[in-house]
Amino acid sequence: MLDIDDLTTEALCRYMLDRHRDTISVQKPEFALRKLNVIIAAALDLSNRKGFQAMSLRDLSRASGVSMGGLYAYFDSKTTLLNMILSEVTAAVQRVLSTPPDKVQGDPVAHLNWLIATHVQMTEQMQPWFTFAFMEAKNFPPAERRKAIDSEELTESYFAAVLKDGMAKGVFRPDTSPLLAALIKPLLQDWYVKRAKYRRRRVTIDTYIATVQDFVQAACLADQTHKDQRATA
């Protein structure tokens, strides 16, 4: 399940290092990767507890063990650090969701279930990253805000495409609401946004995925046999 990509923080930092080779002044990749990993991990931890704005670079310096000046070898401003993290989340979503496995191609129901299951599982593996993106995407300069909106619409477009395909094939009801694709996203987000609540209630990730899949199918499926057709992804 979901081994098409490595979504550990270290793997994501490798992408990050590659993407910002020009602004990162540390040359040797071995040094850079190890330190960037520590910095990003600390930044996600602190931000998700107090908020990105409330996290001072002195906090980050202390938590990561990297000096103030040392931090600026990896980003040229605090806003750049924000952008680096947000970009990586967007890129990961695109990478994972745009490549459905062969077995779901051409089967709208299976594809829809795969999208739901994969998205939830991805947010589970990248939990600090998604929490960060969700909490910090708002209240920020227009440029960053736009990126967040684009990322949001990208996810929605995957669902919209599958729903449209299913309706064309007669698998989904022709009167399926055009708003459905938009409404799936908040259902998926709730798993990591209200993480503590679901953990407290002992709701497993598989239960959650199955519930959302049923919920969505009840809204769009033509017949009522969806419970048998549910894929475990």
Partner DNA sequence: GTTTTTCGAGCGAGTGTTCGATATATAAGC
Partner DNA sequence: GCTTATATATCGAACACTCGCTCGAAAAAC
Residues between 106 and 135 with contacts to a second copy, criterion CB under 8 A? 135
Q: Specify the residue, 79 or 229, whose C-beta has the smaller distance to DNA.
A: 79
Asked if 230 is part of the footprint of DNA (rule: CB under 7 A), the reply reads no
Q: Specify the residue, 53 or 211, whose C-beta has the smaller distance to DNA.
A: 53
- Binding window for DNA (CB under 7 A); candidates: 71-79, 84-92, 101-109, 213-221: 71-79
Q: Specify the residue, 78 or 95, whose C-beta has the smaller distance to a second copy.
A: 78
| Share of the chain residues as helix, strand and coil, in percent rounded to the nearest 5 | 70, 0, 30
Asked if 62 is part of the footprint of DNA (rule: CB under 7 A), the reply reads no
Q: What are phi and psi of 140, to 5 degrees?
A: -145, 165
- Binding window for DNA (CB under 7 A); candidates: 11-19, 74-82, 141-149, 150-158: 74-82
In one-letter notation, the amino acid at residue 215 is F
H or E segment to which residue 174 belongs: none
Closest CA to 211 of 227, 189, 196: 227
179 binding partner (options a second copy, DNA, none; Cβ < 5 to 8 Å by kind): a second copy
- Binding window for DNA (CB under 7 A); candidates: 7-15, 72-80, 99-107, 219-227: 72-80
H or E segment to which residue 74 belongs: none
DSSP state letters, 110-169: HHHHHHHHHHHHHHHHTHHHHHHHHHHSSSS-HHHHHHHHHHHHHHHHHHHHHHHHHHHT
Strand-pairing partners, residue 221, are: 172
- Binding window for DNA (CB under 7 A); candidates: 31-39, 86-94, 98-106, 185-193: 31-39
Q: How far apart are CA 204 and CA 198, in angstroms?
A: 8
User: Residue length, the chain?
Assistant: 233
Q: How far apart are CA 203 and CA 162, in angstroms?
A: 28
Asked if 187 is part of the footprint of a second copy (rule: CB under 8 A), the reply reads yes
Among 34, 103, 197, 199, binds a second copy (CB under 8 A): 197
Q: What are phi and psi of 172, to 5 degrees?
A: -105, 150
Question: In the complex, which residues of this chain contact DNA (CB under 7 A)?
Answer: 25-28, 31-32, 35, 55-59, 65-70, 72-73, 76-79
Please report, as ranges, the residues that interact with a second copy according to CB under 8 A. 49-51, 53-54, 135, 138-140, 149, 152, 177, 179-180, 182-183, 185-187, 189-190, 193-194, 197-198, 203, 207-208, 211-212, 214-215, 218-219
